[in-house]
Copies of this chain bind each other. A is one copy, B any other.
Amino acid sequence: MSSGTTPKLHPFDPIRPEEIRLGVRILEAAFPGVSLRYNRIDIHEPIKQDVIPYIEAERLGKPLPPRPARLLYSYFSRLDTGIYLKALMNADTKSLIYAKALPEGVQPPMDIDELAAIEEHCMKHPAVLAEIEKLKLPPGMTVCTDPWMYGSDNPNETRRLFQCFMYMVEANHPENNHYSLPCKFSPVFEARTGNLVRMDYLPGGADHKTVETQPWTPVKGVQYAPDLMDEPLRSDLKPYIVQQPDGPSFSVDGNSVYWQKWRFRVGFNNREGLVLYNITYDRRNVVYRLNVSEMTVPYGDPRAPYHRKQAFDVGDVGFGLNANQLSLGCDCLGHIKYFDGYRSNSKGEPIHLPNVVCMHEQDNGLQYKHTNYRSGAATVKRNRQLVLQMICTVANYEYIFAYILDQAGNIELDVRATGILSTVPFDNLHGQTVQWGTNVGPGVMAPYHQHMFSLRIDPAIDGFNNTIYYEESVPLPEDENNPYLVGYTTEQTVLRNSTAADLNIPKHRVFKIRNDNISNPITYKPVSYKLMTAPSQMLLLPKKAIGYKRAEFASRPIWVTKYRDDELFAAGEFTNQSKQASGVETWVQRNDGTENEDVVLWHTFGLTHNPRVEDFPVMPMERISVMLRPDGFFTKNPALDVPPSTQVFNKSTLHSEPTASCCAGTGGSKAKLYKRVD
């Protein structure tokens, strides 16, 4: 059977609408006469050993071997039995590889249509309407709901459940901040039947006590939309325009990007969102695959029903599904290139997701400078960067993920948390506080929580077999080699088998990835990259808590595994209502050999977020950065050939003052240093 998909599709390209339709056709053929509901149809990760010859031929400019198969997967259910299945399909041969039922109690992620349906169902349910009635809201005020994944507190739970958190709507405005006015009741629904399983009541005070729904005591909500705020907008912010009159320095061919010796492919899928593939610098391999593989947000309010609040925003829903459709000039400044994606709806119809990834250059100040103080001559290079960005809205929160490449071989992940805190009702009008949260407005509190991210780095430092090790800086012993006591050196520890590992700042422990087969002719050591980690507090949950077992990736900052095709997600494939993880903590137990092998490094980092009142009603971003930096990969500074920074090129303007300012000179010439003022 000949390939029917567009010949130009690369193994790493996102799913196309025709592939979504193909998946539906394959499954309908496999289940004749059965009505199916599609939770997801998306591209599946290609088989790495099949991909490598293809991308290596691309890299070396050689004739291409046959393109590896494009694989698709689907989570879907049979409307007759309600059973969930996973299917794997070959888009090239248009065939089903397998379709198997998920074990009982294993839940696929939430899907968009399902969430919309739960929301509608909740707002019409008689028990919910009855609770709303008890609030005795002023005329014009309504109630809305944010459906949440139910989480886990019972290892025997098999029902698919949703917890609907309820909020009062103060203003009929598209940006009303309902999070300011949370309700004290919260229905739990079973997804399949729509049954109300339970009406939870939320504690109103600082203790665990709950009461029946009472009439609401009106308080003013805290709003962020400009026309709902009392304060006028600042009027003294002047425009800051970025222009690239000669166009950008990047070039794009489909999802393939070239910029300043970097070459890579932009991937996008429903679950992980933005993925960078096959990153090479000057035709040398650096990284095979890079992305945020999971995240979890456990909450620290100990009271029911909050004990189940622990979102897994990749596995429970999907970054790709939640990725904002970005707006020119709003989200991104300068000369912007957008990439699109697609998803399926529950009927298997493709839905276009335009502008889910943006790409543009930015200037990040000085990259390097040296002034020769004798001559005053200076060389200045500015730090031009390439940014690939995705913004995910997960109900209240936003996460901005930016991958940043620069001209010196560095790859950075910049994560910004913003959006709206998750809030709970709290009677705090008379000085009350809690020890696990912050008052953020009248009647509303934001509980403490953690945001834990897993960055998955599948390295390819000059090749696909690498070794991960760490180096520590330690004083030399006080002996005849170190008579003045000043000496220090570095000690290396190779991670020979799959394992978890910790950071150690007092010893300046640095994790590095090297290729034992390729030696640097200047340093005489294997070529290497180092990881600048984001040292963070790990999971606060105790080991016996179900939330710890579900998110064990977040208990250690470093995990090293040997590559396997189906091991992409730090907490495992199915996180929604999981009882425990099936991810890195499981895989390292194999104790695979990881020295000079196809290895994967997983870095857990995060933010213990004890909310500030300044984080409400919308949070000024808090930024975390992780970076890969070359460390003996090159033979000298790789950015030496970047053109120097000049005024002719940059066209800065001088702020003029009433008093004439003296000449703006170059560097710091001695002549100028000695110029007398008469």
Contacts and interface: CB of A to CB of B under 8 A. Distances in A.
B436 A487 contact: yes
Interface stretch (A29-37, A157-165, A263-271, A333-341): A333-341
A286 to B, nearest CB: 13
Contacts of A661: 338, 340, 354
Given A302-B487, A507-B537, A245 B241 contact: yes
Nearest to A502: B506
A365 B402 contact: yes
A439 B523 contact: yes
A307 B481 CA distance: 12
Given A248-B238, A486-B299, A379 B652 contact: no
B418 A370 contact: yes
Contacts of A261: 234
A218 to B, nearest CB: 18
A406 B483 CA distance: 49
A668 B371 CA distance: 49
Contacts of A242: 240-242, 363, 650, 652
A244 B234 contact: no
A238 to B, nearest CB: 4
Contact of A327 (B547, B617, B667): B667
Given A361-B240, A506-B537, A664-B327, A614 B641 contact: no
Contact of A393 (B371, B614, B645): B371
A345 B176 CA distance: 64
Interface string A345-361: 10001111011000101
A328 interface: yes
Contact of A482 (B233, B249, B302): B302
Chain A interface mostly = loop
Interface in A381-410: 382-384, 391, 393, 395-396, 398, 400, 402, 406-410
A201 to B, nearest CB: 16
A95 interface: no
A130 interface: no
A329 B650 contact: yes
A616 interface: yes
Given A245-B239, A337-B655, A435-B490, A650 B330 contact: yes
B486 A239 contact: no
A79 interface: no
Given A175-B375, A363-B240, A621-B383, A652 B332 contact: yes
A610 B510 CA distance: 11
A118 B664 CA distance: 29
B368 A621 contact: yes
A636 interface: yes
B486 A662 contact: no
Given A240-B242, A372-B174, A325 B665 contact: yes
A370 B478 CA distance: 57
A522 interface: yes
Name, among A476, A544, A670, the residue most crowded by chain B CB atoms within 10 Å (CB to CB): A476
